Structure 1
């Protein structure tokens, strides 16, 4: 027995506004339940434009808790069927969860079934499939109209699967078919490695919509499919292909992920998408000998201590630095037009602004704060495991600037700046890279070599022997 379901929702808040369920015994429809639902929240205008359902229409409709029992009973002992099944199933499951109940059914997706039984089509959207199969959708983007069309499509798919082999495979509890995004071929997922690297989610236009990093690519990708958040569900519904790049170690994976996000600007990556840093943190000494920490536009600073994308980001960082090293907010330019800072009263400033602390003692903490931000040395190479046992990965920093990463065979001898620059993939230096590198540099087990002398990259002055 099958319950063929379609719902309409409020969009971002994902509350149901209409639900339609057709009960099918494999030969014909034997039951139906359709109703508008009061979502108890506003329906956005763009949703009304799409579905035709507005706030007035659902004002007197039953709330979900009033129909929950009927939904539970009519779908009991059935297989839950829908076009993009995870979307409808997850939202209904969440509605039950909000009421304190569980909702679990076996699932079948008509998109995935169609890809298997009707291969080679340009699109597997409900509209495109119905058009290719001469199915008329009487009321598009309304729950009953779409559910009825899905029911007709489902019966055609049942008839095409004469020996029930495809349906049985999709219903196999060990199969991940129902978990995978509807547009993603199973062979693509099966080809993913369990190694460390980055992966790309792509849509039907072959556009990269998400870049991720993982110590186990296959396992991490699978976790996206089980995630019930709105962002993850939407992203997975758009995913039709996944590619990957192995890195051999986590550090290179993090660096490559950051670089690719800034280069590709994927729509579902929020972190690290910014590309142009505009604010710089710097220090100067006033006439009294007190070292100040301040910020300004990056183009006005010659040697910034740290770079930031926004003034807010810089201020938050400076506040944290001030707190960790007990610095005076007045001399960190966090409090202006004051004779002495407010933090002295709550014992977070030792009183340099009131002449109660020696300037030399205060300056020592400022220098410690500055050194905590900077690399211990301007020139170093980090050695990491490669993609195979026969190679090693290297991350290179020269004159305090991140140059990139690369791989070299273990037997290859690398001794000069030119040697390392020749094997690396050049990358851009930014504050996100410094944030990534810091924990690895400070890790006890990191294989790293520091060099104190300035390196002239243009003339390729030789490093001392490395490793």
Structure 2
């Protein structure tokens, strides 16, 4: 390492996401081994407004950079100062990515090997309370003059870097961090490689947590380790910020993707993580509702809500709800007008449903019609089966199961393969109760559509019944499990 060139860098920026972050100041100190060869520092006109909170932190304002050179005017000097050198910075990913994006905007590729003094100091100076540049330097008596300015921070980082060179016998740590296949070269500053090495290559969920152990992100994977590492290879601003805030990674194996999805949904519901977006948004629910109109006729209609209330039927897309309403109307000889399939007509004239028995024109009694509507409503209740989905366990001697009782998701669990199962109650001691939500329904609906009955056990009055689910009215529903009608 005595002959190795290093470029110790610190940048100040306008703030914001990586892709919109512009340089306002840069300092580069070039070293050969621990010997300083050259220093370059300059303000840079970012060609955009500097927010007040950034000025309050750095002291750099729009007036100060107004006559400073723009990046394209100093790019050649920056390239020369870092050429053939290893790029060194405190939290190196930030400085490196900002600089690389500036070059990218000019149409040039900026590529350097990197070393992070945060990660190096965690390895070579373990046990400190904090590894932020200010607190780290206070802990080991390194002076910082002009904190949060590029030159002051770079000068302190150079002293820190020189000190760590003396702490690394034969430069084993430095070389391991520079190895192209080393996790240390790609991991965020606050994560140790040991945390990654402890992750399994099996299905399950993982939780990214901040320094207070608050969940930042919950994810599922068929290969936990591979999926976690993929976050750190992603250069999107969101992924970068997630990595910078992550101090701990917890995980739980599930043995299969289905229970991983359900467990992920549960963690998102309970922890409301900062970096999860999709499942924090409540999905729209479509419901078949019934009410008595002014003529005393029971009328069916579709309702839309973000809440899952009791109703005749609950569906998770409008097409499924409308299709079921048409099926009910046709099979029970109901009137399209009073099923809200037609409006602004006195007498129904549906293009397909033509077996109305005349309630709309007064030739069928209200009593007789309402009886048919009640039968249609009752038929929907009979489409809420009790069943278990069987999946792979966490090891070969167990089986995972997901329990749905009377159409309502109950939770999941694991049972040894030699435990006899003769009724639904036999699963209760092994069940991890979960809350049924819009998202758990979507997960199960998608699974049933793709996997179907082969992995399912159905129960009549809690007793095990082999074979496919029998539907009361096969003319309507066929032999497939109806989609979108699971009760919450």
Pairwise TM-score range, normalised by the shorter structure:
0.7 to 0.9
Match of 2:303 among 284, 294, 300: 294
Q: How far 1:233 moved relative to its partner?
A: 1.1
**Counterpart check, 1:11 vs 2:15:** yes
Question: Any idea what the Cα deviations from partners look like across 1:188-216, whole Å, max 9, x if unmatched?
Answer: 11111111111112222233222111111
Write out aligned runs for 1:10-409 (5 A): 10-12=14-16, 13-273=20-280, 281-284=287-290, 291-295=300-304, 298=307, 301-303=310-312, 305-306=314-315, 317-318=317-318, 357-358=350-351, 360=353, 377-409=384-416
Deviates more, 1:382-391 or 1:205-214: 205-214
Q: Secondary structure at the match of 1:108?
A: strand
**Counterpart check, 1:432 vs 2:439:** yes
Flag the 1:387–1:53 CA change in 2: closer, same or farther, 3 A: same
**Counterpart check, 1:2 vs 2:11:** no
Matches of 2:76 and 2:196, distance apart in 1: 37
Matches of 1:374 and 1:157, distance apart in 2: 71
TM-score for the superposition, normalised by structure 1: 0.81
Unaligned 5+ residue runs, structure 1? Answer: 308-316, 329-349, 364-369, 456-460
C-alpha contact (below 8 Å) 2:459/2:465 kept by paired residues: no
Q: How far 1:437 moved relative to its partner?
A: 1.0
Matches of 1:374 and 1:302, distance apart in 2: 10
Q: How far 1:65 moved relative to its partner?
A: 2.6
TM-score for the superposition, normalised by structure 2: 0.78
Matches of 1:228 and 1:129, distance apart in 2: 27
Q: Secondary structure at the match of 1:163?
A: helix
Q: Which has the larger radius of gyration?
A: 2
Q: CA RMSD in A?
A: 3.3
Write out aligned runs for 1:450-465 (5 A): 451=458, 453=460, 461-464=462-465
Flag the 1:256–1:362 CA change in 2: closer, same or farther, 3 A: farther
Q: How far 1:8 moved relative to its partner?
A: 1.7
Matches of 2:288 and 2:64, distance apart in 1: 59
Question: Any idea what the Cα deviations from partners look like across 1:91-136, whole Å, max 9, x if unmatched?
Answer: 2222222322211111101011101110111111111110011111
Unaligned 5+ residue runs, structure 2? Answer: 327-340, 357-376, 469-488
Matches of 1:408 and 1:452, distance apart in 2: 18
Flag the 1:297–1:103 CA change in 2: closer, same or farther, 3 A: closer
Q: Secondary structure at the match of 1:11?
A: coil
Q: Secondary structure at the match of 2:278?
A: coil
Q: How far 1:327 moved relative to its partner?
A: 10
Deviates more, 1:95-104 or 1:132-141: 95-104
Q: How far 1:444 moved relative to its partner?
A: 4.0
Q: How far 1:321 moved relative to its partner?
A: 6.1
Flag the 1:278–1:250 CA change in 2: closer, same or farther, 3 A: closer
Q: Secondary structure at the match of 2:77?
A: helix
C-alpha contact (below 8 Å) 1:298/1:304 kept by paired residues: no
Match of 1:443 among 417, 429, 450: 450
